[in-house]
Structure 1
Amino acid sequence: MFFSIIIPLYNRPQEIKELLETLTLQMYKQFEVLVIEDGSVNDAAEIVQSFTDKLDIKYFVKANEGQGFTRNFGFERAKGDYFVVFDSDCLIPADYLQIVNDSLATNWLDAYGGPDDAHPSFTATQKAISYSMTSPFTTGGIRGNKKGIGQFHPRSFNMGISRQVWEKAGGFIITRLGEDIEYSIRIHSMGFEIGLIPDAKVYHKRRTNFLQFYKQLHFFGRARINVYKFFPKGLKAVHFFPAVFTLYIIFTIIANVFCWPIAVLCNVIFAIFILLIFFHSWWKNKSAKIAFLSIIAAFIQLTAYGLGFMQDFWKRIVLKKS
C-alpha cells in the first residue's frame, strides 16, 4: 500500500514543521507528503524545503479557497493507493501508518477515521480542550469511539479515503462549515465501507486558548446546520444537546435572579455535572489543574456550539435565508 498524505496549510509554518518532523519517524515508509499552501501570507516554503532529504515531499502554492477545496487540489496530484488527510496542528505517532496498513490488510475500509488525543507536551489548556472534545459528558465520547451514537463519520483532522472513493465520489463539495461530515455521509450513501481504526490516533493540538476554542466551536455549531441543508436526515436529536444545554444555563440564571424555587434543583444538577467533569478529567489526566480547566472548556464547548447551532438554525431553517 502506498499512501499519499495531504496537508492543507494556512499561515501555520511552525505547525507544519512539527508535523513533518513526526512523519520522518514513521515505521512504515511507503508514502509521499503533499503540502498545499492555501493562499498563506506567512508561508512555509523554507521549512518544507528543509525536509526534502528526509521525506518524499511536494509543496504547492494556490489561491485561498478553504481547506476542503485545498484537499481536493492535493487529491488531484496524489500518486497513492490511499489518501490520508491531516490537519496541520496534528502530531503523528511513529506507528500510525503501520497500524493503518495492517488494519486495512485484515479489515478493508474504503474510508476510515481515527481518534485524537493530547500529547504530553501540550499545555494544560490544550489538554483540557482535548478532554472536552472527547469526554462522555460533552460529546458523548462519539469522536473516535466504536460505540458512538449512529453512523461513524471520519473527521478531516485524521481521515483516509481510497483512490476508488476519490474516483467515484470525487472530493469535497463544501470547502468550510462541516465539509468533512458532508463528505463522509456522501461516501457512505454511495455504498462504500466506512469505519473507525481505533488505534490510528493522532495528537491534535486544537486551539491554544479558550477564546480561539470558543470561535472554533461556534463555527462547528453553524457547520451542523450547513450539513443539514445537504442531508436533512443527518440531523439527529443528539445534535440539539448543546443548544438545550445553553438554554438551560440561561433559564438557570433567570431562575436564580428572580429566586424561583426551581433554581435550587437547577443548581444541584449543575453541581453534579461540574463534579462529574472534574473528577473524570482528574482521573484521566492525573492533574487537578487540568480537571479545573476542563470544566471551563466543557462549558465553552457546549455553549459556543449551542449558540452557533441556534444562530444558523433560526436564520437558515426557520427564516429560510441562504
Structure 2
Amino acid sequence: MFFSIIIPLYNRPQEIKELLESLTLQTYKQFEVLVIEDGSVMDAAEIVRGFATTLDVTYYVKPNEGQGFTRNYGFERARGDYFIIFDSDCLIPADYLEIVNNSLNLSWLDMYGGPDAAHPSFTPIQKAISYSMTSPFTTGGIRGSKKNMGGQFHPRSFNMGVSRKVWETVGGFIITRSGEDIEYSIRVHAAGFKIGLIPEAGVYHKRRTNFMQFYKQAHFFGRARINIYKFFPRQLKAVHFFPALFTLWLIFTLVANVFGWRLADLCNFLLAVYILLIFFHAWWKNKSAKIAFLSIATAFIQLTAYGLGFMQDLARRIILKQF
C-alpha cells in the first residue's frame, strides 16, 4: 500500500522540521509527504527543501483557509491509496506506518484514528497537557480508546487516516475549523464506511506549550462542539455538558465560600478529593511530582476553558440564535 501523508502548516517551521525528521526513520518506506503552507508568514520552504534527498516530499503554498480546506488541497494532489493526516506538532514513531499497513491488511478500515502521548523529550508543561487531554478525570479517558461515551468513534485529525475511496465517495472537509474532523467522520459513518481505532498507531503530540495557549485551544474546542451540533443535533450528548457543569460548580463553590454558605464545606471536600485524584494519578502515570502538580493546573484549565467556550456558543448560537 502506498500512503500519502498530508500535513497542513501555518507559521510553524520548527515543528515541521522535527516532524519530517521523524518520518525519515520510518521502517515502512512506501509513502509520500505533502506539506501545504496555509498562507504562513513564516514559511518553511528552506526546511522542507532540506529533506528532498531523504523523503518523497512535495511543498505547496496556498492562501490561508484553515486546516480543513488545506487538507482537501492535499487530498486533491495525493497519489496514495490511503491518506494520512498529521498535525505539524506531532512526532511519529519509526514503526508507525508499518503498524498501520499491517493492521489494515489484517482488518480493513476505511477510516482510522490513533492515540497520542507525550514524548520523553517534551517539557513538563507539555506532558501535563498531554495527561489532562487523556485523563479519565477530565475526558473520561476516551481519547485514543475504543470506548466512547459520546457514541460513535470519531478519529481526530492530529492522527487520522482515510482511504482514497472515502475521499472519492464522501469528499473532504466541508468546514475548515471548529470540529471539522468530527463533522467529517460523522459523514463517513453515515456513508456506511468502516471506522475504527488502531490503538498501536500512536503519535507524540506536543500540543500547546504554555497555559495561555492551552486555554485558548480548549476554549475553541468547547465552541467547536456547538458548531458540530449545528450540523448534527443528535451528536450532542450528556457527556459534552460535563465541563460546563464543572465550571458552574467551581463558580458556585467560590461564591459559597465568599458568603459562608453551609454547602461550602461539602464543595471544598469534593474539590480536594478531585485534586488529589488528579495529582496521584498523574504522578503514577508520569513518575514525576512536578508533572503531577502541573497536571492539576492543566486539568482545571482544560475543563473551565472548554466549559466557558461551550456555554458561550450555546447561549449565542442556540439560545439567542446568533451566528
Per the shorter chain, which TM-score range? Answer: over 0.9
Partner of residue 266, structure 2 = 265
Report Cα offsets for 1:267-301 as digits up to 9, x if no partner. Answer: 01100100000000000000000000000000000
Query: Aligned ranges for residues 109-188 of structure 1 at < 5 Å?
Result: 109-149=109-149, 150-188=151-189
What letter corresponds to residue 119 of structure 1 in structure 2? H
Query: Aligned ranges for residues 144-293 of structure 1 at < 5 Å?
Result: 144-149=144-149, 150-293=151-294
User: Once the 2 structures are TM-superposed, how far is the Cα of residue 245 of structure 1 from its aligned partner?
Assistant: 0.2
What letter corresponds to residue 21 of structure 2 in structure 1? E
Q: CA separation in 2, counterparts of 1:68 and 1:182?
A: 11
What letter corresponds to residue 224 of structure 2 in structure 1? A
Q: CA separation in 2, counterparts of 1:290 and 1:283?
A: 10
SS at match of 1:269: helix
Q: CA separation in 2, counterparts of 1:207 and 1:237?
A: 27
Does residue 95 of structure 2 align to residue 95 of structure 1? yes
Unaligned runs of 5+ in 2: none
SS at match of 2:161: strand
List structure 1 runs of 4+ shifted beyond 2 angstroms: none
SS at match of 1:211: helix
Report Cα offsets for 1:54-83 as digits up to 9, x if no partner. Answer: 000000000000000000000000000000
Q: CA separation in 2, counterparts of 1:252 and 1:92?
A: 42
Unaligned runs of 5+ in 1: none
Q: CA separation in 1, counterparts of 2:29 and 2:179?
A: 32
SS at match of 1:143: coil
Q: CA separation in 1, counterparts of 2:174 and 2:236?
A: 19
SS at match of 2:33: strand
Query: Aligned ranges for residues 17-56 of structure 1 at < 5 Å?
Result: 17-56=17-56
User: Once the 2 structures are TM-superposed, how far is the Cα of residue 146 of structure 1 from its aligned partner?
Assistant: 1.4
Q: CA separation in 2, counterparts of 1:45 and 1:304?
A: 35
SS at match of 1:279: helix
SS at match of 2:140: coil
User: Once the 2 structures are TM-superposed, how far is the Cα of residue 147 of structure 1 from its aligned partner?
Assistant: 2.2
Partner of residue 75, structure 2 = 75
Q: CA separation in 2, counterparts of 1:109 and 1:321?
A: 39
What letter corresponds to residue 60 of structure 2 in structure 1? F
Does residue 317 of structure 2 align to residue 313 of structure 1? no
The alignment's TM-score, normalised by the length of structure 1, stands at 1.00
What letter corresponds to residue 30 of structure 2 in structure 1? Q
SS at match of 2:196: strand
What letter corresponds to residue 118 of structure 1 in structure 2? A
User: Once the 2 structures are TM-superposed, how far is the Cα of residue 196 of structure 1 from its aligned partner?
Assistant: 0.3
Partner of residue 57, structure 2 = 57
User: Once the 2 structures are TM-superposed, how far is the Cα of residue 254 of structure 1 from its aligned partner?
Assistant: 0.5
User: Once the 2 structures are TM-superposed, how far is the Cα of residue 145 of structure 1 from its aligned partner?
Assistant: 0.7
Q: CA separation in 2, counterparts of 1:267 and 1:191?
A: 48
Q: How many pairs align? A: 322
Q: CA separation in 2, counterparts of 1:250 and 1:135?
A: 23
What letter corresponds to residue 124 of structure 1 in structure 2? P
Q: CA separation in 2, counterparts of 1:68 and 1:146?
A: 25
Q: CA separation in 2, counterparts of 1:135 and 1:308?
A: 20
User: Once the 2 structures are TM-superposed, how far is the Cα of residue 122 of structure 1 from its aligned partner?
Assistant: 0.2
The alignment's TM-score, normalised by the length of structure 2, stands at 0.99
What letter corresponds to residue 210 of structure 2 in structure 1? N
What letter corresponds to residue 279 of structure 1 in structure 2? F
Q: CA separation in 2, counterparts of 1:161 and 1:290?
A: 35
Does residue 300 of structure 2 align to residue 299 of structure 1? yes
User: Once the 2 structures are TM-superposed, how far is the Cα of residue 151 of structure 1 from its aligned partner?
Assistant: 1.1
SS at match of 2:162: strand
User: Once the 2 structures are TM-superposed, how far is the Cα of residue 237 of structure 1 from its aligned partner?
Assistant: 0.2
300-309 or 138-147, which deviates more:
138-147
Matched residues, percent identical?
A: 79
What letter corresponds to residue 114 of structure 1 in structure 2? G
Q: CA separation in 2, counterparts of 1:300 and 1:109?
A: 35
Q: CA separation in 1, counterparts of 2:154 and 2:141?
A: 13
Q: CA separation in 1, counterparts of 2:2 and 2:179?
A: 28
Q: CA separation in 2, counterparts of 1:126 and 1:142?
A: 19
User: Once the 2 structures are TM-superposed, how far is the Cα of residue 148 of structure 1 from its aligned partner?
Assistant: 2.6
